[in-house]
Chains A and B, each alone.
Chain A
Amino acid sequence: MSSIHQELVNIVGEDYASNRREELFTYSKDLGTSQPLWPEYVVAPKTTDELQAVVRLANETKTPIVPLGGGMTLAGLALPQQGGVIIDLKRMDKILEVNEQGRYMVVEAGISHGKITSYLKKNHPNLMHSEPGAPPAATVGGNLAIHGQGDLAHPYGFNTDMVNGLEVVLPTGDIARFGSCAVGSGWYTMHPLPDIGLFLGWNGATGIITKVSLKLYPCKKFRENNMFVVENEEFVPDVLFEISHLGMAEDLIATSSEIPPMMNRLHYISIINTGDSEEELEFKRHMTFDVQLAKYIRNGVGGIVSLYDERSRPQVSKSADWKKGGGFEYVGAIVPVSFYPECYRRGSEISGRHFIPYTVLGRVIGSCHSMMFSWSYAFNRADDATVKHARDALHETDELVMELNGTIWKPAIFGQKLMLERMDPGALRLMKEVKKILDPNGIMNPGNWEVD
């Protein structure tokens, strides 16, 4: 038994620290196409104190640490690039406070989104948080570490725009708090203190998020998926613009995919309308279809596919098993909504080259301020050739995003390099300095957002 392992056992107890091959194997694998990368230890702390002790140990011994939430990025962002300790944070999952009138909740960052949705539904049915387009086992902390977006992206933006306060364990093991909670005033706002938040979107390379105050939003009683379809991809940006003018939809997503055939070369726009009454819903349907989109219907170039379909939360996705292969990975990019047509066309070409039925999706962020556009590539986990095709397609797509002047979201290491190559030198220098100041020993998820 190595001394680091013994130290970890001393901190979290024997059950929650392992250097056994089975645990290391499990944590060496990402769900996407990444090649396995093995940690030396896996540890699952229960409290911030335990986590601090683990981080201090790592810092003293210069052992790399990789924080892990739900492990759902698919891009290998929680694989240990340089070995070391994987810290599975899912035991830190308490709900600490819900302030109903102030519309926020304070949680430990290892909590799953599914648990939050369930808890609010049961105890505060008039409140909701933005649930990412990932399985409900995805964690709050993980999602913030990658600048996730969720099903409230259209009205309220990125999930990282919905943070009212943050507690972070720094690479030294010290704790820092940001927002009103930093001055002991409760967890109700992030502003107006000087901006020193350097932890969102860093893949855990600057610190480990332990507590979060999440903004909550009004949750209406009824939630329905209204589906509109166009054939010409050039119409999609305008359709989204027209709908976003209303400021009524809760979520706004355009999709197209080769399979099933019904979706092939057609663009389905899912408009989530909500209401506390049928009157409210009907008003929204009326404004959406009889007013904003009427011109498309009249001209025969856009049509209502379905209305009234109840939308449940959390959403359950079966997309991982397309073609009975048990795998897929996607490139997500943040792009202007106007990029949709080009992204779709070029993406379906890449898919075609790799014999993968194309699947694309664009989720509107803000009032059409941007869009998360994703290109998904399915593979068969038992067939290496298909995994390679998917991996190559992902790399080509990363390059495509760069060519189109998009911004890759939660890029894998390959994509991070492409982004850093193009980054403004001033920003690059600052990133490097920040990382050096916060993490002088370079132990925090090394390899991620690393400036040479």
Chain B
Amino acid sequence: MNLMEYKYKDMIHRCFRCGYCKFPTDWSDITNCPPYARFRLESYSTGGRLWLIRAWLNGELEWSPNLANIVYSCVGCKNCVEKCPHSFNDDVVNMIIAAKTAMVDEGKIPKAVGEFLTNVQLHGNPYGMAAKRREDWMEGLNLEPYKGQEFLFYVGCEGSYDTRAQGAARATAKLLQQAGVSFGVLGSQEISDGNEVEMMGEDALLEDLAKKNIKMFTELGVKKIITLSPHSYNVFKNRYPDFGGEFQIYHHSQILANLLKKGLIKAPEQADARITFHDPCFLGRWNEEYSAPRKVLAAIPGAAFAEMGRNKKGALCCGGGAGNFYTDFLGGSEDSPARIRAREADEAKANILAVACPNCLTMLEDAVKVEGLEDKIKVRDISEILTA
């Protein structure tokens, strides 16, 4: 691809690299862009990345594995969109995603990205695991397959396969059962939602997955979907309509907040808990849902709640977005965003770091361990706190 074929050819030069995009809402540090926080070289800032992309597309700079790593280190957290003061701010992250698309089209992508995309394409999940293993998380729960119930509980790849995230899937399912919610699951029929593949620039695969999912949902008569992951929530809600898929989408935090409000589930008392909440990007900045998970946490009798310094629109991403929970471009350093976040939870004197996303759950749990904080801080999905 050259610059003239690039969707944002008339826009990408407008980035001045003024650096607002590095900050959180309250300006407390220049480390709110996850890759910049991790590497602290200008090439890894949003502005640096946009200038590099432009230079690549207009032939000023040749493609290199390092360039691809820099572009793919963007986790799509949308902090830059939030902070860029210019009128094109909405498209800042899109400009990066479009560059990833250009790399996909030319087959010039990092190896880990290639693996991820191939696995999703061949196996319907990034781990390359067998479809039947998707049911592992359900063992002993006595869940019904979806057959016309009110809700489809879409678990997603992480909740299905990742042993840690399975805990959140199980807890959510138990709560729905307790509350008498009419729901079913897809089990081994479930495939990837496509959010990450889009964030990694693989448009065609997103379209393929979306069409397959829409066909399956429609044939099963699905109207309402509860997602475990904000990533699924995002793509179902905002992208599937483009492919003709109109469903009512709920994130599990919204459902749980509602069930608590109606008294259909009850939060157990946790007198010693001091909870902080890490906003998932695809629930927060992408979909502006900041209150539902906080309502859930506020319903826990006896628990104290403390915000981390960076929260809501200004939250620092865990670094797991856009497939980075798998590709791990930001790992391996004390400046890895998840480790910074673990330390921030400690600074907030929290003993529970609550999350509402299976990606954040695994990223932050690992980070807490590496930071040696596992005796002080437990990382828990909000559903797990309610079933404690």
Contact = CB atoms under 8 A, between A and B. Distances in A.
Interface in A1-43: 15-16, 18, 20-23, 25-27, 29, 31, 42
A206 interface: no
A318 B85 contact: yes
A117 B30 CA distance: 12
B17 interface: yes
A135 B14 contact: no
Nearest to A326: B14
A262 interface: no
| Band of interface residues on B | 35 or more
A451 to B, nearest CB: 31
B28 A326 contact: no
A22 B43 contact: yes
B29 A115 contact: yes
Contacts of B353: none
B22 interface: yes
Contacts of A114: 23, 27, 30
A243 interface: no
Interface string B58-94: 0011101011001000000000000001111000000
B23 A136 contact: yes
B131 interface: no
Contacts of A414: none
A381 B28 contact: no
A85 B1 CA distance: 33
Nearest to B38: A15
Q: Which of A16, A25, A29, A117 has the most CB of B within 10 A?
A: A25
Contacts of B66: 20-22
A135 B18 contact: yes
B367 interface: no
Main secondary structure of the interface of B (DSSP, over half): loop
A135 B60 CA distance: 28
B243 interface: no
B182 interface: no
B16 A88 contact: no
Interface stretch (B48-56, B105-113, B244-252, B376-384): B48-56
Of B15, B30, B62, B64, which is in contact with the most chain A CB atoms at under 10 Å from its CB? Answer: B30
B41 interface: yes
A56 B88 CA distance: 44
A contact face: mostly helix, strand, loop, or mixed: mixed
B89 to A, nearest CB: 10
B272 interface: no
A320 interface: yes
A314 interface: yes
Nearest to A314: B27
Interface string A126-169: 00000000011100000000000000000000000000000000
B208 interface: no
B333 interface: yes
A26 B41 contact: yes
B55 to A, nearest CB: 6
A113 B73 CA distance: 27
A228 to B, nearest CB: 26
B221 to A, nearest CB: 48
Interface string A314-341: 1011101100111100000000000000
A354 interface: no
Nearest to B14: A326
B14 A324 contact: yes
A153 to B, nearest CB: 21
Given A115-B27, A115-B30, A119-B28, A320 B18 contact: yes
B42 interface: yes
A26 B17 CA distance: 11
Nearest to A25: B61
B14 A117 contact: no
Given A15-B39, A20-B66, A318-B85, A137 B20 contact: yes
6 contacts: A22-B61, A22-B64, A25-B55, A27-B42, A321-B16, A326-B15
In the A-B complex, list the 9 residue pairs whose CB atoms are closest, starting with the nearest.
Answer: A137-B19, A320-B16, A326-B14, A382-B13, A118-B27, A114-B27, A26-B43, A381-B13, A135-B18
Interface of A: 15-16, 18, 20-23, 25-27, 29, 31, 42, 44, 70-72, 88, 90-91, 93, 112, 114-115, 117-119, 122, 135-137, 314, 316-318, 320-321, 324-327, 380-382
Given A114-B30, A115-B27, A317-B85, 10 more contacts: A21-B66, A31-B17, A44-B41, A71-B17, A72-B19, A118-B29, A137-B23, A318-B86, A321-B86, A321-B88
